[in-house]
Amino acid sequence: EELLQFVAFLRKDKKLTLLYNSYLQKIREQKFIWVEHLQDYYSPEEIILCDKDAYSFLKNYTINNKNLLVINNDTSQWLADNFNVSTLNEFILRAHIEEIAEREKGNPMFFETLYQYISDEGYTLNDKKILLGEDSNLYEGADKVFMHGNRQEIQIPQSIQNKITMLHSYISMENISSSSLKKLGIKPFNQEDIVDHALELFDDKGINKSDIIVFLMGIKVQSPTILNNIRYKVLVPVVKDEEWISPLYDPVYIESEDLKILYPEGHFINYDAIDYPDRDALNTFFLQLNVWNIPALYYVRKNTVSSSTTPKHISFLNKNSGFNSTYYTLNNDRKLDFPDKVNEFFFRSIIE
């Protein structure tokens, strides 16, 4: 750097202009720039300038086949003006950071430093595969990577690992603002967001639905709001036709002798479709989600009532609504799963 400073100083003396220009021409192709970490000299076309923060974690890599160099601002400007030496910026980093990140997957501390640098510089790289997950694979912002925060341990089944991913636990994000998290594509840990995203996966044909159930069980939801969201969107496996259905809109049961007698063609939980050994734990979970161990009370998505089929019902609705109609459509009406043949168990269940 001393040599660079000397050459840069020469141009300040107009009497030495001829010597200065001649010297520039002579050294243009010479290796006169000392790169400390490589312990060697390089030509201007072999280097790229950066600040100390970038140098600290990128110095072992070449960017555009150039080695990183940190020097004072005046000398940096001189190199840029006279030799077109470029400076690392967001555009250049975007072009190379995925390749570098791939080589650093086994080093979480590299990513902690990288994220802090990106935050400090205000770069937006949420479309780049640079987020290190718990499985040591890389993801981009669209993959929904969640920061740990103060959370219980969550085990994410393999089939949804690339759909709901936690940031590597060794990476601290304490000094990074929420706006910078967005630019990185990292979502703060939030049980409601994670659950909602997991529920969306029931529509993904490439996902094992059993894994979604096991994942939701592992979260151990306590919030009534989140639990209601699960009730509205969850699907459960039933033996009949080996399908997955909504227990909110279909009567679904935990199998018992009494219920099999009442509903011989009913929907009963298919435990073989769920890779989880503890049936009692499954039953406890399902009973929170509108799966029943007594005759079910479930929603009817759309129920049409007309004077031709249920005149008494129409009269009741007109009287209590203030309208005068012969036709009503009821949404989310509740309905009792009335069996073909009632028995003592049915009546006892209703009364209790």
Residue 178 has pLDDT above 80, yes or no: yes
Span 60-107, pLDDT tens digits? 999 989 999 998 877 888 888 888 999 999 999 999 999 999 999 999
Span 232-255, pLDDT tens digits? 999 999 998 889 999 999 999 999
Closest CA to 169 of 190, 154, 159, 191: 154
Closest CA to 255 of 273, 238, 232, 243: 238
CA distance 269 to 285: 12
Say which amino acid occupies 160.
I
CA distance 143 to 103: 20
Residue 231 has pLDDT above 90, yes or no: yes
pTM of full prediction above 0.85: no
